[in-house]
Amino acid sequence: MNKFALGSHRVALAAAMALGTVTTMATAASAATLRVTIENLAPINGGFLTPAWVGFHDGTFDLYDRGESLDDFNGLESLVEDGDTSQLTDAFAADNPDGVQATLLSDGPPPLEPGELTSFTLDVDPATNQYFSYASMVIPSNDAFIANGNPLAHEIFDDAGNFLGADFIVLGSEVLDGGTEVNDELPFSTAFLGQQAPDTGIDENGVVTEHPGLTVGTILGTTDSSALNGLPLNFTGADFTAPGYQVARFRVELVDNQVEDVPEPGIILGLVAAGGLVAANRKRKQTA
């Protein structure tokens, strides 16, 4: 794949991954302004991350359960296979009408490269949005992803409304296999290797498990570039099963806790374009 083709692929990937983004908010109430940041901690030539979905909720929104099929959880399959957050956005809005969510885009066209970080500032009601959840696809892969399966894992506000925040690192040992596609890691069916359309992999009909790691040597680095369709990248640092491998860092910080009016449900805070434009507060850190 030449550079022009790579650019076109990234734009197409951006459109598939992030057409739906920040959506509903709570009604007028006391609101806290929070900044959510994701940083790709992978080493040089490590894996990329698709735009991360993040959500604040009352603790009842369950993204997945290990050992169970994603068929039982609305919206996550398209994210783990293609990085598309739109179905998850719809599912969250339906289940949590008072919830707050966003899709965090990189400064340039997706995906989020090793060493890069991005953030988004948004308002939440501590009374109805105590808990934080996240999900992002790890690429290149068929259906590798990171997410918290326990909806109560990250408490941002206590019962009295006091801010607790969050700052945590996701390790390679926490990367999950969606069980929805066979891990053949062939270019035509693997996101960011050459896949041209969503949902092109072989159905696995499995369950969510710990990901065994990338198995095809061409992904982890080889002289045989034909298997990668000429992609001008290598992934010699993408073995997330390596001891101590760090995938991502998430932070939730308090910016302001003043009482203010929050838009009514259904008001759209942002619209993501295929080229990666977003009305957000973003930072980009270059990889050394």
CATH number of the domain that 119 lies in?
A: 2.60.40.2130
Are the C-beta atoms of residues 36 and 102 closer than 8 Å to each other? yes
Q: Does any domain span residue 199?
A: yes
79 alpha carbon, distance to own chain's centre: 8
Domain count, the chain: 1
How far is residue 219's CA from residue 225's CA, in Å, rounded to a whole number?
A: 10
Q: Does any domain span residue 82?
A: yes
> What was the pLDDT predicted at 211?
96
Q: Give the other-Cβ count within 10 Å of 217's Cβ.
A: 11
Mean pLDDT by 10 residues, the chain (288 residues): 38 42 44 96 94 97 96 92 94 96 88 95 96 96 95 97 97 96 79 68 88 72 44 77 96 75 30 28 36
Q: Does any domain span residue 265?
A: no
Q: Does any domain span residue 277?
A: no
Domain span at residue 92? Answer: 32-254
> What was the pLDDT predicted at 191?
72
Q: Does any domain span residue 19?
A: no
> What was the pLDDT predicted at 201?
72
Q: Does any domain span residue 205?
A: yes
Q: Does any domain span residue 261?
A: no
Q: Does any domain span residue 259?
A: no
